[in-house]
Structure 1
Amino acid sequence: MIKKRYSKVESLKFMGSASKQVLGPNIEILLWNVFKCKKKGWLKDFTSLIQDKDLILLQEAILNSPFDNLFHKSSQHQWIMASSFRNVKTNIETGVKTGSTVAAKQQYFSVSTYGEPITQTKKMLLAAEYPLFNFETLAPGQTLLVVNAHVINFVSIEKFRAHLDQVFQTLKHHAGPVLLAGDFNTWNGKRLKYFNKLAVSFSLEKVDMIRQPRLNHLFRHLDHIYYRGLEVTDSFVHTEIHSSDHYPISLSIRTLAPPLMT
């Protein structure tokens, strides 16, 4: 019998401090599943990648590790960590973590209903709203909704769909700009088809990227970025970086001024 190495956490923690008041009009973004920061060279790559970034969305991020000071003492980014489980041997928590040069106005996290096989660990999503650059014609209080998700793996298509439905429900009542990104574990056609169906139903556009498929991902792309009410100006996949089993993705977007009323 295999003993469980994990216990439930399902908690939210804030670290660091934001350096700006609003996001935009140009916003630089990093998306990366950091593989629990286990690979050699991760810290050097990470600190280099985040220097010019306004938003950073991490999956398989960790807490209670030797890297904690990087986040706790940050004077550039506010970090929000949504933990879903803890390793009972090391006390290290794992989940999703979002960093921003602007403090979140509000945030929400949710854990998957179902657990993954054997360990019964669950996956997490973290949603946060950030104030946007105030164009002269922009309605007061408009915010960017950023959803950082790591979707459940190694389960039936029904359980996968249930978690993806849960992720997309966070978009339901937000009328403004949206950025949805993360590791969606879309390693087969059925999963990807359902993901794209939901994205279309919420009027999201996909960020197209030039990237290399990986053998350990069954030659499928697992990391995706979708958006609404924004303009994508550039995207780049860092295939030269190997300190995770996922490539980091950099994205440049621009906020849009609403049309003038006539």
Structure 2
Amino acid sequence: MLHVGQALPPGTPISTEATLRVLVWNIFKQQRADWMSVLQNFGKHAHLVLLQEAQTTPELIHFATSNYLAADQVPAFVLPQHPSGVMTLAAAHPVYCCPLREREPLLRLAKSALITAYPLPDDSMLMVVNIHAVNFSLGIDVYSKQLGPIGEQILHHQGPVIMAGDFNAWSRQRINALYRFAREMGLREVRFTDDHRRKAFGRPLDFVFYRDMNVSEASVLVTQASDHNPLLVEFQTTKPERL
């Protein structure tokens, strides 16, 4: 865990200003046209790009290495050609990296999560959780089990946190479990005024949660380049005043 000193030596801050731009997107294994233009238009100005269902195709690798200092992936499963899973692109090298996997109980496929940490200009450490939650399961035991190790790390982290991705929160049980988890972790939910997030059974699937920061802008980009719409959030990393 990050707090017990397994971190690498502190490096360059992920942002040199008090603004942090984050793009969150289930990229649908790059199966649709125009995914690259969406990434180029909206991703290249972001300090962090949190992708789910990212396949390590040559095109994506070229985009990542051309625009970002670091690209970390946790393959959930290996397709015939390229591994697919969550991928975090960052404008700075992480000083901590923890991959997590949870197997789907019905399909026996895995879903992945990745915890990384980056220095901020004020010498605090930003913890970033990129998650693709288990989708096909009866009840919420496996869903909650996947959140468990993530919660353990967030609870021990002193400093800002971003937890985002495709949470597959399509049932009342799941959304309740997710909100309960967020409350226990002291995380707030980013609200979108024009909410065009992908929904299933009337509930959004993609979320951004945060702690010890302020949200200055939040938008959902409507596109046909995936079966999910990307979320773009701009944070102010100066610590908010306690109410």
Q: Please confirm whether the aligned pair reaches a TM-score higher than 0.5, indicating the same fold.
A: yes
Alignment pair present for 1:115 and 2:98 = no
Q: Give the CA RMSD over aligned residues.
A: 2.0
Higher helix proportion, which one?
2
Q: Distance in 2 between matches of 1:57 and 1:116?
A: 25
Other structure's SS at 2:63 match: helix
- Contact kept? 1:22, 1:130, Cα under 8 Å: yes
Structure 2 unaligned spans of 5+: 1-11
Match of 2:203 among 220, 223, 239: 220
Q: Distance in 2 between matches of 1:70 and 1:116?
A: 34
Other structure's SS at 2:66 match: coil
Alignment pair present for 1:254 and 2:233 = no
Match of 1:98 among 78, 83, 88: 88
Q: Residue by residue, what CA displacement relative to the aligned partner does 1:13-42 show, whole Å, maximum 9, x if unpaired?
A: xxxxxxx64424101110000000100111
Match of 2:37 among 34, 44, 66: 44
Normalized against structure 2, the TM-score is what?
0.87
Shift in alpha-carbon separation, 1:221–1:75, aligned structure 2, 3 A: closer
Shift in alpha-carbon separation, 1:39–1:75, aligned structure 2, 3 A: closer
Which consecutive aligned stretches of 4+ in structure 1 deviate over 4 angstroms post-superposition? none
Alignment pair present for 1:56 and 2:49 = yes
Shift in alpha-carbon separation, 1:75–1:49, aligned structure 2, 3 A: closer
Q: Which has the larger radius of gyration?
A: 1
For 1:20-39, what aligned pairs fall within 5 Å after superposition? 21-23=13-15, 24-39=17-32
Other structure's SS at 1:144 match: strand
- Contact kept? 1:149, 1:167, Cα under 8 Å: no
CA drift of 1:165 comes to 2.1
Shift in alpha-carbon separation, 1:190–1:168, aligned structure 2, 3 A: same
Q: Name the % identity.
A: 26
- Contact kept? 1:30, 1:56, Cα under 8 Å: yes
The residue identity in structure 2 corresponding to 1:32 is W
Match of 1:76 among 48, 62, 68: 68
- Contact kept? 2:221, 2:229, Cα under 8 Å: yes
The residue identity in structure 2 corresponding to 1:208 is R
For 1:1-262, what aligned pairs fall within 5 Å after superposition? 21-23=13-15, 24-71=17-64, 73-87=65-79, 90-112=80-102, 114-118=103-107, 120-134=108-122, 141-156=123-138, 157-209=140-192, 210-212=194-196, 214=198, 217-239=200-222, 241-257=223-239
Alignment length, in residue pairs? 228
Normalized against structure 1, the TM-score is what?
0.81
Shift in alpha-carbon separation, 1:224–1:214, aligned structure 2, 3 A: closer
